[in-house]
Amino acid sequence: MRKAVWITGGSRGIGAACVRVFAAEGWRVAFTYRSSAAQAEKLAEETGALAVCADASDGAAVQAAYAQTCGRLGAPYALVCNAGIAEQKMFQDLTDADWQRMLDVNLLGTVRAVRAALPDMLHRKNGSIVTVSSMWGQYGASCESHYAASKAALIGLTKSLALELGPSGIRVNCVAPGVIDTDMNAMHSEQTMRELADETPLCRIGTAAEIADSILYLSSDRASFITGQVLGVTGGL
């Protein structure tokens, strides 16, 4: 039987690229989305994937989305925690609500997805979890301290889960993208994006498909002895 994967935040950008590459590799795919219904429906039609509406900040919705996925595909072998948000704001302008929203989606959204999928993985004694952090979670980001902090927390969570779940045959890894051509980076000006490309040793911005390929690899049996790692897909930046 073909393996199944559950991808959170799958309607756009890196998530949509993951849906496409997993489907192309023969996986059975389900993904969540929050507000991009038209894009999600189009992607589902294109790939044969199951699209389920669920806000990563709503624990009950995440649990229900996982249950719907299991009902259609069976318990997924792989979980890709991609749902996330970004925002540019000076530190002194950040409110408690700004911090809470960022952490609620980027960190706790991942916690909720793992919490939903983990019992089946533990019962099976195998599985793969891939979280999506950012190079800014490793090195910091001016005017995005709450985003960088949330992504740094994901790295700590990934490494901790890898230690805890390894004896149960479950691998947990993290991909930390560099500057990628997605809607999330639309907040940056064209000049800023050119400057970031110039600073990148490979002299260009990355693509969502390149990140998705790395996530597919870490989710697959080809990475069967890899866990607790942070893979920087940054073009050398």
Distance CA 32, CA 30 (A): 7
Environment class of residue 225 by beta-carbon count within 10 Å: exposed (0-12), middle (13-18) or buried (19+)?
exposed
Distance CA 29, CA 76 (A): 9
- pLDDT recorded at residue 181: 83
Provide mean pLDDT across the span 105-121.
98
Distance CA 90, CA 94 (A): 7
Encoding tokens for residue 136? 């800014």
Q: Is 147 a catalytic residue?
A: yes
Tens-place pLDDT, residues 194-216: 888 888 899 999 999 999 999 99
Residue 187, pLDDT > 70, answer: no
Provide mean pLDDT across the span 87-103.
97
Q: Determine which one of 33, 66, 77, 147 is catalytic.
A: 147
Determine whether domain 4-233 maps to CATH 3.40.50.720: yes
Higher-scoring residue by pLDDT: 188, 141 = 141
Specify the long-range contacts of residues 91-100, CB closer than 8 Å, at least 24 apart: 91/143, 91/145, 94/145, 94/146, 98/146, 99/146
For residue 82, what pLDDT band results from cuts at 50, 70 and 90? very high
For residue 186, what pLDDT band results from cuts at 50, 70 and 90? low
Tens-place pLDDT, residues 120-171: 999 999 999 999 999 999 999 999 999 999 999 999 999 999 999 999 999 9
Residue 235, pLDDT > 80, answer: yes
Residue 188, pLDDT > 70, answer: no
Q: Which range has the worst mean pLDDT, 28-42, 80-94, 121-135, 170-184?
A: 170-184
- pLDDT recorded at residue 190: 77
CB 26 within 8 A of CB 49: no
- pLDDT recorded at residue 223: 98
